[in-house]
């Protein structure tokens, strides 16, 4: 492509002048001018791509890549919040400290269970919802925008409302549950109820968004596939199982990865869900996630080095999950 | 030869799409009453917490401490909005958030368009490896970088200042990826070639061809990034304070904590913080939905 531009440019320069001047005998000055233009042209072709990406990459290096790597470096040091630039080498001490802390394992377990409670129903409902939205509907745009309204609501606002809805004594949810004979549930202080409540904030905010992503992928499936499946006598449910789901596999994987990452860094919802306990995630740490634990170590206990070690541990766990995901998806592809 | 080969193709194409469309329209895919019922339930589930925020904001604290909870609006809305506005420092917060989200969205859109164009349409050494780096870090959670960023802020004395939030929000790997995917298919190579033949420099190509062609995607990306910056919580929460120089989210988080135990006021604050984005969604909902779905297929 580049070579074509090189030859094209001087031709265009000549094109305008050709009728007036015989092209065979350019003057010395003209030839030099043309050579200069052509050199400038080549420089432009060669270097402008770097010019185009460099503003992004400068910021990206400063605020994306460098902090990522530097967190790893900081995790090998003792750093206090009160003097964040004063670092003392500590080797792997921060890591051994964390792995010996019961609260770390508690937070890891909570992150996992809240992650499962929030992600699995969310993606299943999103799939069903997308399937329905894919029908021929009246006012289909209206439904799509409505499903996306929670996504426009911030974590802070959503969490504040859900705290009230999940209130033990006067909350809407306990009031509705008493009609079906369920007694007062303490959504804030009991372990499983609190985890379910925190998860429900995540589910509420993201189900519609994921449904739209599934819907987009469903609409990209060629209709011929359904037609031939219908000709073979496949019921609608079997069409969904044998046409829709296999075609959606890359999208499903994508949403699983994104949701996993989102779940692993859960922070605002549990923080605000019991605002007065803050970073501890409930009176008995019953819904303290790794994100909250990191915040507690770094900003409440003021050990930034230890917080960095938590961050990198989370990163390594994510990479591990990514690899497992990749292996599973390859197995699935190979088996079909 | 080539003409006889290419000519029938366009004639076949529209016919095929028309057939498949009519098969869909006339066929098995019509929604029945069950589908509409499920949709209605989901719609109520989506909207109820939002509507109830407004209901609770229009009551007073005593009414919210009674069973059954209120289902309709009371007369206290404007009083609560007024108090929440002043108590949570929301005027300052709105101004700050608009500045942060505006600068962030505009910068991301411009830089992503230019970089996305280079990745989509230009050839240069290292292109693939650089693009892979961008995609790879798209998945890295922000928690991994907050500690060094916090050290930076401490060193620069930027605590409780807006630039501490603005600078880290100027980069979006997703933005570059999004614009690249869009320009790959929306910007014909012939257009660039033609401009080149006319002697246009690369910057002129960007200005006169890439920007006009990318405009729809730029609008969508801008809205998505604005929403994201508006709702961003973790980082602003760490470097800004509620009483000093908060964004809306930081101010809202402070509402839930002890100093205003009045639930109806908390709901009034939540309502105020959410309303601007809900308005944006009510007006541009169709475009935002389209943008998310467009980004999804290629992602």
What Rg value do the Cα atoms of chain A yield, rounded?
Answer: 29
Residue A276, pLDDT > 50, answer yes
A230 lies in some domain: yes
Same domain, A163 and A60: no
Same domain, A36 and A168: no
Q: Does the predicted interface ipTM exceed a cut of 0.90?
A: no
Q: Which residues of A touch B257 (CB under 8 A)?
A: 275-276, 278
> Chain B contact for A217, CB < 8 A?
yes
Same domain, A65 and A167: no
Residue A225, domain extent: 97-335
Answer yes or no: do B171 and A64 touch at CB < 8 A.
yes
Looking at A28, A53, A70, the residue that finishes a domain is A70
Same domain, A144 and A15: no
> Chain A contact for B155, CB < 8 A?
yes
Same domain, A152 and A240: yes
Residue B76 three-state SS: coil
> Chain B contact for A122, CB < 8 A?
no
Same domain, A191 and A44: no
- What pLDDT does B144 receive? 83
A77 lies in some domain: no
- What pLDDT does B217 receive? 87
The predicted-structure confidence for B59-68, as pLDDT tens digits, reads as follows: 877 777 777 7
Q: Which residues of B touch A149 (CB under 8 A)?
A: 46-47, 50, 278, 281
Q: Which of A68, A143, A271 sits opposite B145 (nearest CB)?
A: A68
Stronger pLDDT, B13 or A124, i.e. the higher one: A124
Same domain, A107 and A219: yes
Report how many domains make up chain A.
2
Q: Which of A2, A154, A311 sits opposite B274 (nearest CB)?
A: A154
Same domain, A56 and A166: no
- What pLDDT does A26 receive? 66
Q: Which residues of A touch B173 (CB under 8 A)?
A: 60, 64
The pLDDT-based confidence of A21 (bands split at 50, 70, 90) is: low
Looking at A35, A55, A70, the residue that finishes a domain is A70
What domains, with CATH codes, occur in chain B? Answer: 88-298 (1.10.3720.10)
A200 lies in some domain: yes
Q: Which residues of B touch A115 (CB under 8 A)?
A: none
- What pLDDT does B298 receive? 47
A83 lies in some domain: no
Same domain, A154 and A62: no
Question: What distance in Å separates residue B220's CA from the closest CA in chain A?
Answer: 14
> Chain A contact for B195, CB < 8 A?
no
- What pLDDT does A35 receive? 84
> Chain B contact for A292, CB < 8 A?
no
The number of beta carbons lying within 10 Å of the beta carbon of residue B132 is 10
Q: What is the mean pLDDT of chain B?
A: 81
Residue B138, pLDDT > 70, answer yes
Same domain, A113 and A66: no
A86 lies in some domain: no
> Chain B contact for A293, CB < 8 A?
no
Residue B116, pLDDT > 90, answer yes
The predicted-structure confidence for A218-266, as pLDDT tens digits, reads as follows: 888 888 888 888 888 888 888 888 888 888 888 888 888 888 888 888 9
């Amino acid at each position: 492509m580049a070579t074509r531009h090189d030859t094209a440019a001087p031709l265009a320069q000549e094109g305008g002048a050709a009728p007036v001047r015989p092209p065979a005998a350019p003057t010395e000055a003209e030839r030099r001018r043309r050579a200069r233009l052509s050199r400038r042209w080549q420089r432009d072709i060669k270097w402008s791509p770097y010019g185009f990406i460099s503003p992004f990459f400068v910021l990206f290096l400063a605020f994306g890549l460098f902090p990522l790597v530097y967190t790893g470096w900081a995790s090998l040091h003792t750093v206090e919040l009160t003097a964040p630039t004063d670092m003392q080498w500590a080797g792997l001490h921060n890591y051994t400290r964390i792995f010996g802390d019961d609260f770390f394992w508690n937070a890891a377990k909570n992150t996992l269970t809240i992650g499962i409670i929030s992600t699995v129903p969310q993606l299943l409902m999103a799939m069903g919802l997308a399937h329905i939205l894919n029908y021929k509907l009246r006012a289909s745009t209206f439904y799509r925008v409505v499903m996306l309204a929670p996504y426009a609501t911030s974590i802070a606002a959503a969490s504040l409302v859900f705290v009230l809805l999940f209130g033990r004594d006067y909350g809407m949810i306990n009031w509705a549950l008493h009609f079906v004979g369920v007694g007062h549930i303490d959504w804030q202080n009991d372990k499983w109820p609190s985890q379910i409540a925190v998860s429900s904030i995540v589910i509420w905010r993201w189900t519609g968004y994921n449904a739209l992503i599934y819907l987009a992928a469903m609409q990209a499936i060629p209709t011929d596939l359904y037609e031939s499946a219908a000709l073979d006598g496949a019921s609608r449910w079997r069409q969904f199982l044998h046409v829709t789901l296999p075609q959606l596999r890359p999208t499903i994987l994508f949403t699983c990865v994104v949701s996993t990452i989102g779940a692993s860094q859960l922070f605002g919802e549990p923080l605000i869900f019991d605002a007065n306990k803050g970073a501890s995630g409930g009176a008995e740490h019953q819904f303290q996630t790794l994100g909250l634990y990191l915040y507690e170590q770094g900003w409440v206990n003021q050990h930034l080095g230890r917080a960095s070690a938590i961050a990198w541990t989370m990163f390594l766990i994510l990479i591990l999950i990514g690899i497992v995901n990749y292996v599973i998806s390859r197995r699935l592809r190979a088996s079909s | 030869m080539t003409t006889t080969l290419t000519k029938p193709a366009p004639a076949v194409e529209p016919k095929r799409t028309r057939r498949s469309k009519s098969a869909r329209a006339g066929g098995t895919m019509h929604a029945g009453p069950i589908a509409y019922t499920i949709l209605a339930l989901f719609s109520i589930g989506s909207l109820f917490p939002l509507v109830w925020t407004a209901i609770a904001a229009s009551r007073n604290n005593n009414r919210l401490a009674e069973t059954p909870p209120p289902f309709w609006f009371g007369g206290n809305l404007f009083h609560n909005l007024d108090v929440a506005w002043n108590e949570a420092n929301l005027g300052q917060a709105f101004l700050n958030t608009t500045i942060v989200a505006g600068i962030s969205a505009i910068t991301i859109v411009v830089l992503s368009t230019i970089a996305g164009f280079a990745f989509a349409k230009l050839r240069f050494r290292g292109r693939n490896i650089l693009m892979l780096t961008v995609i790879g870090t798209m998945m890295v959670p922000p928690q991994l970088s907050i500690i060094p960023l916090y050290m930076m802020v401490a060193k620069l004395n930027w605590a409780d200042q807006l630039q501490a939030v603005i600078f880290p929000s100027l980069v979006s790997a997703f933005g570059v990826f999004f614009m690249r995917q869009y320009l790959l298919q929306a910007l014909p190579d012939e257009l660039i070639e033609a401009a080149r033949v006319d002697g246009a420099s690369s910057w002129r190509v960007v200005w006169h061809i890439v920007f006009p062609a990318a405009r729809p995607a730029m609008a969508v990306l801008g809205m998505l990034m604005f929403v994201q910056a508006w709702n961003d919580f973790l980082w602003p929460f760490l470097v800004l304070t509620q009483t000093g120089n908060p964004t809306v989210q930081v101010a809202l988080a402070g509402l839930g904590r002890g100093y205003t135990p009045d639930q109806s006021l908390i709901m009034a604050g939540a309502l105020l913080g959410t309303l601007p984005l809900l308005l944006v969604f009510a007006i541009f909902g169709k475009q935002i939905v389209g943008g998310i779905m467009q980004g999804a297929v290629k992602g």
